[in-house]
Every structure is written in structure tokens, then in C-alpha cells.
A = this chain, B = another copy of it.
Amino acid sequence: MYIICSDLEGVFVPEVWINVADKTGIEELRLTTRDVSDYDVLMKGRIKILEEQGLTLKDIQNVIAQIRPLDGALEFIAWMKERTQLIVVSDTFIQFADPLMKQLGRPTLFCHSLEIDERNMIVGYTLRQKDPKRRTVEALQSLKYQVIAMGDSYNDISMLQQAEVGILFRPPDNVVKDYPDLPVAYDYDALKEILSKYL
């Protein structure tokens, strides 16, 4: 039996931090791991900016609630869920993902979490485990599932490689160049065509 593990941002919804930067007008929130390679330095910088601007978790959630899923994402999720089980695996935080998951009909999500204080300010974050995407595929394989994994970027590669079937979705060109063996899809119809071979 096949099961699907999919990344969230870039597959079903746009990149969250870039949109938060756009909607709040805070340019520094645009920085990603491409600009600041140490994730902890990046996240602590983001938390410091939110604190300086006096933005609570609720403020950020209200901004994120304005982000819309990618065109066709809802239909594509419904299509998959009629055929198999879907687990969304993301390096985002549950509190940020929630306004988006609500719009997606709340498929199961495995991700990280933020630490919130009594002022509703973000004061830290907890990563659930190292290499959580690959570990999720392994956990599902321990349940005798065969896994089809989909993602768009470098943090998805270990998941795509651990899965029985790994598919890149709308990846940047450098990812395609670095991993030429992985099949690539640029729209949901192309994904459906690949998935239909297995489901």
C-alpha cells in the first residue's frame, strides 16, 4: 500500500516568511537559509525582529491567515485523499501552519513548534527531531507502507531519497541540477500523472 508524504510550503501554499515580510512590510523577515546559513541564527534573528516590532503570535497568525493556498491545491489534496492517505511533513511551526492547514481542510501535519510566553510573544522554538522528513518516511515504512514523497527543495531531499518514490515539485534549477535522478513535476496535473502509476 502506498502513502504520500508531502512538503507544505512550495507544494500547497506559498513560502510563509516571504509572505509575512511582504504583508508586514518588514524587509528583514525576507532572509532565508540562503542568506543566513545557520538556521538557529536565522530563527533567533526573526524572533528578535518580532519582539522589537511588538508583533505577537496572534498578529503573525492574522497575517498568515491572509495567505491563500496555491491555485488548485485544494482540489489536488482532495484527489489524493480519495485515493490514499496523505501526511504533510514540514519544517515550519505548528502555530504558523495552522491558519493555512485550516484552509487546506486540516490534512495531518508533522512539523515543529514555537515557544510562546504569557504575552503571546514568540520567545523560542523547538525542533521535534533532526532530519524529521526522512524519519517520517522511515516510520511509515516500519508500518509496511511504501512511500511516495514530494517536495521542492534541499530540505526535502533526504525524504525523497528514503521514499520508494521521490518527486520534485517546482524546484529551483539548482536543485534539479544537483539531483538529476529525481523526477520533476511543475504542476498538479504532472504530479497526478506520476502518482497515478502507483495509486
Contacts and interface: CB of A to CB of B under 8 A. Distances in A.
Contact of A108 (B87, B94, B113): B87
A107 B105 contact: no
**Copies in the assembly, this chain:** 2
A64 to B, nearest CB: 16
B81 A113 contact: no
Interface residues of A, number: 26
Contacts of A85: 108-110
Interface string A47-91: 000000000000000000000000000000000011001110000
Contact of A128 (B106, B113, B135, B143): B143
Contact of A139 (B82, B86, B107, B140): B140
A107 B108 contact: yes
Interface of A: 1, 81-82, 85-87, 94, 105-110, 113, 128-129, 132, 135-136, 138-140, 142-145
Given A87-B108, A139-B140, 18 more contacts: A1-B94, A81-B106, A85-B109, A85-B110, A86-B108, A105-B105, A108-B108, A110-B143, A128-B143, A128-B144, A128-B145, A129-B144, A135-B142, A138-B142, A139-B139, A139-B142, A139-B143, A142-B142
